[in-house]
Amino acid sequence: METQITPSNEGIIRAAQLIRDGQLVAFPTETVYGLGANAKDAEACRRIYEAKGRPPDNPLIVHIPHRDDLSGLMRGAMNNQAERLLKAFWPGPLTVVVPCGGHISSVALGGLDTVAVRCPSHPVAQKLLQLSGCPIAAPSANRSGKPSPTTAEDVYEDMNGRIPLILDGGPASVGVESTVVDLSHEIPILLRPGAVTHQQLEHFLGPVTLADDSTPARSPGMKYRHYAPRAPVQWWDTDDVDQALTRWQSLAMPRERYGLLASEEIGRALGPALFYNLGDNDGAAAQNLFAGLRTLDRERPAAIIVVWKQSTPLGAAIANRLAKAAAPNPTGDDNE
Ligand code: TXA
Ligand code: MG
């Protein structure tokens, strides 16, 4: 199959037709690029798992154009607090898990009786949802286990030959995937940190539990390897230039063989052969993280070193992705 990259304004009509025909389309959202299919069409959803190489028990996020469309997908009703949360953050980088009550393919749900729903704010995602006329199941448009794509070129790298169309809407503005909060329990559970922070969730919902890897299979995706480029990743949790320099000078292999993802200041002090600027604040770091990992990885370094320390609540999302990207993978389980 030939994969076309088209500027989103030119390709959107064809994209909507492809979705209605049960085909896959990669499209931009404000968080990362998604790989979309009609969420009601089992065969179309199966194609997503195949193109990504994703295990069938890891459910997909279902995207809707408007907040009001949620009631048609869920069993029961939102309480007032959750209503206010969605009023504040939808459309935007927030996904809620609720009891499923709509006609979503069980393939998209990975066999669960809950559904994860998101209303994206990106104008191209909005337009595609409106023109397609169906909810769109869309995981991040990377091959399973790889960093999520934040540009159309990153999608092409992973999906060339596997899907007919990539809508190019430029680089994603947030850069890390949406916050996922499970509202199907008495006390909500934060399954994945994102641009909507734990503090913001608690402001609306009251206490919100943090899921960790010991929370048994809360989010099926949590048990799989994530965000990992080919090269092993080391995360140095510091923003201190001297500390970073000392570690850099005591590296085991010749320094030219390492890729460095860090602020410009640290880059200047360490003087690596291979460098990508992560930026000097958490907002920039979120935008640059996945692009940096992918860009450095193309140069085939022996390892990628990320020097970064959290300074704001948004940083929790970056720390979460970095910890997973740097996690050892002794079982060779290279799935998402
Ligand atoms: O920002 C985003 O959310 C992007 C864009 C494209 O919207 N999408 C995305 O999807 O990141 P994906 O499939 O890469 O990540 C979805 C996560 C997975 O960890 C999955 O296990 C979890 O959400 N998930 C989906 N449905 C769930 C459910 N019913 N219960 C618990 N977790 C669920
Ligand atoms: Mg993903």
* Per-residue pLDDT tens digits for 161-175: 999 999 999 999 999
Residue 262 has pLDDT above 60, yes or no: yes
Domains contained in the chain, CATH given: 4-210 (3.90.870.10), 233-325 (3.40.50.11030)
pLDDT score, position 294: 97
Average pLDDT in the 97-102 region?
95
Spell out where 268-309 has E strands.
274-277, 303-307
- Mutational pocket test of ligand 1: of 129, 177, 224, the residue with most ligand atoms within 8 Å of the beta carbon: 177
Average pLDDT in the 9-26 region?
98
Q: At 256, is the secondary structure helix, strand, or coil?
A: helix
Q: How far apart are CA 24 and CA 35, in angstroms?
A: 7
Q: How far apart are CA 277 and CA 260, in angstroms?
A: 8
Q: How far apart are CA 329 and CA 324, in angstroms?
A: 10
pLDDT score, position 228: 83
The two tokens of residue 212 are 């960790």
Q: How far apart are CA 274 and CA 305, in angstroms?
A: 10
pLDDT score, position 327: 87
Residue 73 has pLDDT above 70, yes or no: yes
DSSP secondary structure letter of residue 100: B
pLDDT score, position 332: 39
- b/e per residue 311-329 (b: at least 16 CB within 10 A): eeebbbbbbbbbebbbeee
* Per-residue pLDDT tens digits for 202-260: 999 999 999 876 665 466 766 666 778 899 999 999 999 999 999 999 998 899 999 99
Q: At 336, is the secondary structure helix, strand, or coil?
A: coil
* Per-residue pLDDT tens digits for 275-295: 999 999 999 999 999 999 999
Residue 35 has pLDDT above 80, yes or no: yes
* Per-residue pLDDT tens digits for 135-146: 999 999 999 999
Q: At 317, is the secondary structure helix, strand, or coil?
A: helix
Which ligand has an atom closest to residue 178 CA?
A: 1
Q: At 238, is the secondary structure helix, strand, or coil?
A: coil
Q: Name residues contacting ligand 1 (CB within 6 A).
A: 29, 31-32, 34, 58-61, 95, 97, 112, 114-116, 118, 120, 138-140, 177-178, 180, 182, 191, 219-221
Residue percentage of the chain with pLDDT more than 90: 90
Q: How far apart are CA 100 and CA 64, in angstroms?
A: 14
pLDDT score, position 139: 98
Residue 331 has pLDDT above 50, yes or no: no
Q: Which helix (H) or strand (E) holds 4?
A: strand 4-7
- Mutational pocket test of ligand 1: of 100, 124, 140, the residue with most ligand atoms within 8 Å of the beta carbon: 140
* Per-residue pLDDT tens digits for 307-328: 999 999 999 999 999 999 998 7
* Per-residue pLDDT tens digits for 104-132: 999 999 999 999 999 999 999 999 999 99
CA dihedral defined by 85, 87, 88, 93, rounded to 10 degrees? 80
- b/e per residue 269-292 (b: at least 16 CB within 10 A): ebebebbbbbbeebbebbbbbbbb
Q: What atom of ligand 1 comes closest to residue 141's alpha carbon?
A: 6
Distance (Å) from CA 140 to ligand 2 centroid: 4
pTM above the 0.85 mark? yes
- Tell me the pLDDT band of 301, cut-offs 50, 70 and 90: very high
